[in-house]
Amino acid sequence: MRMYRSKPEKRSEQRRPKLSERAQDPWRCEADVVEGLEAIAADELRRRLGQDASLQPSPRPGVVPFDYSGPLVALLQLKTIQSVYLVLRFAVPRPRALLGDQHFRNLLACIAAVRSLHPPGAFRTLYVSAAGSESAVMTRLKEELARHTGLEIARDEGDLMLRVRRPFERGEGWEVLVRLSPRPLATRAWRVCNLEGALNATVAHAMILLAKPRPQEIVLNPACGSGTLLVERLAASAAGRLIGCDTSPHALACARANVSAAGSSDRIELYPWDARALPLPERSVDVLYSDLPFGQLVGSHRENIQLYPLILQEAARVARQAAPFVVITQEVRLLETLLAEQQVWALEGVLRVSLGSAYPRIFILRRR
Ligand SMILES: C[S@@+](CC[C@H](N)C(=O)[O-])C[C@H]1O[C@@H](n2cnc3c(N)ncnc32)[C@H](O)[C@@H]1O
């Protein structure tokens, strides 16, 4: 029995695969993405990984499978993807067989390849997610993994995350997925201040890409909260100016901490401005992004009825002709109604995303 590989290759039964060899063989990979962002994530995979990645048909929403033959470390740079897993397929009838010597060695080799991408000590705990994860077999699997890796078994989230499951297409065998990073890629190192209602960074990055960032442009982020869109904008490309504003001192303090942790304090400007009355000249901004209050954790529907039209109007005043304005909100009906009542913003597209319990939409507007 051997680990899944796209191009089968003869290898000695006893020899443990080395990372250098692995890097040249296609790995079967799976990207977890926010539902609704699959096409944007697939574009990012193609753009960043080029011919090293061969995208496979998606078996279900939120999953982008691909075969990958480049260095694994490059996958840690992906910005629109929640987590990347390496997928090992074993032609075994039951998970118990994963404990067999060769299968288990293959699994350990994969885990070693993942751990080698990170500094020593980055992984302290392990977690195995599986149907029947408390069964005798799964308990034994966890114990053996803990014994061989020196990691502690976690009750919930672990640094080393494994999933054991049947293949999606209901083929023979079992799959073990090994997450490539001790935290999801969506958990950004720069986020030192967690503001309630902050935007998922992969969604923010997708919004940034939707406006096709250009290096010299002047960017405005009204209602910037903790600065997610601003930091992600700078991660995508340089900008002429990056301006964020928020009326909440707490949100601005949070944004300052995050921007500083991102090492971008000298490139991102933060102001306590009201997005309904900006001290900026008419037609001075090239692109706008906003995560407007959803009216649940932040603000209320009643306040939004007053707030949204004024923000749209003020954004239209400062936007240059043809400037994109990418907006995310859960106040879908309110925004649709307001857009239908005005002429300045043309609606170019809408994307529905699923964030667990929330289903906001991303609206792509353009200044007429
Ligand atoms: C959904 S939160 C933004 C969260 C942000 N994207 C993040 O990741 O932290 C909306 C923000 O709008 C701000 N806000 C509400 N009314 C505003 C106004 N009139 N002008 C500027 N900001 C406003 C709130 O203080 C809040 O921080």
Q: Where in the chain is the domain with CATH 3.40.50.150?
A: 201-367
CATH code for the part of the protein at 19-179: 3.30.2130.30
Q: Which helix (H) or strand (E) holds 58?
A: none
Query: Mutation test of ligand 1: which of 298, 331, 353, 361 has the most ligand atoms closer than 8 Å to its C-beta?
Result: 298
Atom of ligand 1 nearest to the CA of 291: 6
Q: How far is CA 45 from the centre of its chain?
A: 12
Protein residue closest via CA to atom 3 of ligand 1: 225
Sheet with 268-271: list strands edge to edge: 268-271, 241-245, 218-222, 287-291, 324-329, 361-367, 345-352
Q: Where in the chain is the domain with CATH 3.30.2130.30?
A: 19-179
Look at residue 297 in the predicted model and tell me its pLDDT.
67
Nearest to 241 by CA among 320, 175, 341, 186: 320
- What residues flank ligand 1, with Cβ below 6 Å? 195, 197-199, 222-223, 225-226, 228-229, 245-248, 251, 274-276, 291, 293, 298-299, 307
Look at residue 25 in the predicted model and tell me its pLDDT.
74
Given a contact cutoff of 8 angstroms between Cβ atoms, the answer to whether 173 and 167 are in contact is yes
Look at residue 298 in the predicted model and tell me its pLDDT.
66
DSSP single-letter state for residue 264: -
Report how far ligand 1's centroid is from the alpha carbon of 363 (Å).
Answer: 17
Atom of ligand 1 nearest to the CA of 248: 25
Report how far ligand 1's centroid is from the alpha carbon of 345 (Å).
Answer: 21
Atom of ligand 1 nearest to the CA of 199: 8
Look at residue 2 in the predicted model and tell me its pLDDT.
37
Look at residue 184 in the predicted model and tell me its pLDDT.
98
Protein residue closest via CA to atom 13 of ligand 1: 223
Structure tokens at 64: 């982008």
The CATH homologous superfamily of the domain defined by 201-367:
Vaccinia Virus protein VP39 (3.40.50.150)
Look at residue 295 in the predicted model and tell me its pLDDT.
81
For each of the chain's 368 residues, which pLDDT tens digit applies? Answer: 334 333 333 333 334 444 444 445 799 999 999 999 999 999 999 999 999 999 999 999 999 999 999 999 999 999 999 999 999 999 999 999 999 999 999 999 999 999 999 999 999 999 999 998 889 999 999 999 999 999 999 988 899 999 999 998 777 899 999 999 999 999 999 999 999 999 999 999 999 999 999 999 999 999 999 999 999 999 999 999 999 999 999 999 999 999 999 999 999 999 999 999 999 999 999 999 999 998 876 668 899 999 999 999 999 999 999 999 999 999 999 999 999 999 999 999 999 999 988 999 999 999 99
Please give the model's pTM, rounded to 2 decimal places: 0.92
Report how far ligand 1's centroid is from the alpha carbon of 230 (Å).
Answer: 13
Protein residue closest via CA to atom 12 of ligand 1: 223
Protein residue closest via CA to atom 25 of ligand 1: 248
Structure tokens at 105: 């060695």
Given a contact cutoff of 8 angstroms between Cβ atoms, the answer to whether 113 and 72 are in contact is yes
Cross-strand pairs, 34:
none
Report how far ligand 1's centroid is from the alpha carbon of 73 (Å).
Answer: 35
